[in-house]
Structure 1
């Protein structure tokens, strides 16, 4: 049986947490990356272990290249060759119009959402690629419906960063397809996670859900199911693809 070793960045809450729990249930050995929420990350690890799974947690700010490299080296030592990466960690700032944005805010968002995803993908490819003696693998980038919709008056900078993640998905999928690595993305819409509180409006999903064709927000577990499928052998002929999960929006 294949030994799936999967890194989930930003795995202590929301979509990352739900994905970690589901993949562990499916037999993956999980590395949960977190930046500051150690207690919550360790809670997820404990839950996985209680259910008979295997997991560790590693602190690293994915906006910091040195910390990312050190995290991958620790995974090498503790778990073995990586087979899956879920580029899930992402940040947004307080809701704002373009007139309220400054270069520092934009750089902060892009450092995590774009540069962090690139560097994590780079380190994963170094380990998975056939040319490096790897066994192949799969990468799933967690983008956002905002990359298509633009998030006007709220998070244009966040939306733009996710547009970059979409381009990374397409380009990297083509670049590493012959190396046994599949690269896909999910684009969640309005999902019940704590990220909305980070943007200053904890109840945002309930405020706008009636504008959606399905008239409801999504659950992190629904997104986790899509991520798990894209990582699985059931999606073995799928690369460079996007799964929109936005209730029809």
Structure 2
């Protein structure tokens, strides 16, 4: 089998990240997934991938902590050439009004969702860029429909952080397009994952155009298209996986 390199996916122990990790392994990548605190779940994903004939490992890393980001890339280097980064990890910081939020909540959301993405992209570019001696690669950022909807009365600070991710996608894609790196974005709408407050999906289901939420596997399919050779001329794109919402 041709060595497709290392596929690094943050937040890969559950939900969308897990679906991406499983899909990437099935495509022949060595998958390195990160987790923050749920080591058992991460181990379960790795073992499931291995049982299916794939290759995978997990590393603990909080992408809101620069030292952890450095450690996850060091772990990736140990497994071979980095060919794909999917920055999937993200937090909402809860639900409520901006006026009620603490400085710590706002800082943590920005640190994980945006600053962590910037640092991770920087480290990926250092490894992938043909200008810097790399062999090229693909970066996919997970944004959210919240970036354009704003999420008022829910978590507008989360939406603002994802708006930054959208800008990062556009700017970095144009910055490194000539260096063998394609940067793209996927913006999910309501997806059946644990990021939602209990009961939220049920409460909004009838208002959704398709009358249902999406699945992690539907998001993973868009990510895997963007990473694939079929998307060789696709860069700075932002695919909405949101059922017309």
TM-score scaled by length of structure 2: 0.98
What's the C-alpha RMSD, in Å, of the aligned pairs?
A: 0.9
Q: Is 2:193 aligned against 1:208?
A: no
Residue pair 1:24, 1:30 contacting (<8 A) in 2 also? yes
The corresponding residue for 1:93 is 93
Q: Is 2:63 aligned against 1:67?
A: no
The corresponding residue for 1:137 is 137
Deviation of 1:52 (Å):
0.4
The corresponding residue for 1:113 is 113
More displaced stretch, 61-70 vs 112-121: 61-70
The corresponding residue for 1:84 is 84
Q: 2:215 aligns with which of 212, 219, 222?
A: 219
Residue pair 2:6, 2:76 contacting (<8 A) in 1 also? no
Residue pair 1:95, 1:155 contacting (<8 A) in 2 also? yes
User: Which 5+ residue runs of structure 1 have no aligned equivalent?
Assistant: none
Please give the secondary structure, in 2, of the residue aligned with 1:144.
coil
Deviation of 1:23 (Å):
1.1
Q: Is 2:227 aligned against 1:231?
A: yes
Please give the secondary structure, in 1, of the residue aligned with 2:153.
coil
The corresponding residue for 2:158 is 158
* Aligned counterparts, 1:9-28, within 5 A: 9-28=10-29
CA deviation vs aligned residue, 1:113-148 (integer Å, no higher than 9, x gap): 001111111111000000121110000000000001
CA deviation vs aligned residue, 1:193-221 (integer Å, no higher than 9, x gap): 0011xxxx222112102111111100000
- CA distance in 1 between counterparts of 2:3 and 2:237 reads 24
CA deviation vs aligned residue, 1:29-65 (integer Å, no higher than 9, x gap): 1001111111100100000000000000011111111
Residue pair 2:3, 2:29 contacting (<8 A) in 1 also? no
Please give the secondary structure, in 2, of the residue aligned with 1:184.
strand
- CA distance in 2 between counterparts of 1:14 and 1:3 reads 24
Residue pair 1:206, 1:217 contacting (<8 A) in 2 also? no
Please give the secondary structure, in 1, of the residue aligned with 2:204.
helix
Residue pair 1:144, 1:159 contacting (<8 A) in 2 also? yes
The corresponding residue for 2:122 is 122
Structure 1's consecutive aligned runs of 4 or more residues displaced over 6 angstroms after TM superposition are: none
Deviation of 1:102 (Å):
2.6
User: Which 5+ residue runs of structure 2 have no aligned equivalent?
Assistant: none
Alignment: residue pair count: 244
CA deviation vs aligned residue, 1:138-196 (integer Å, no higher than 9, x gap): 00000000001001100100000000000000000011000000000000000000011
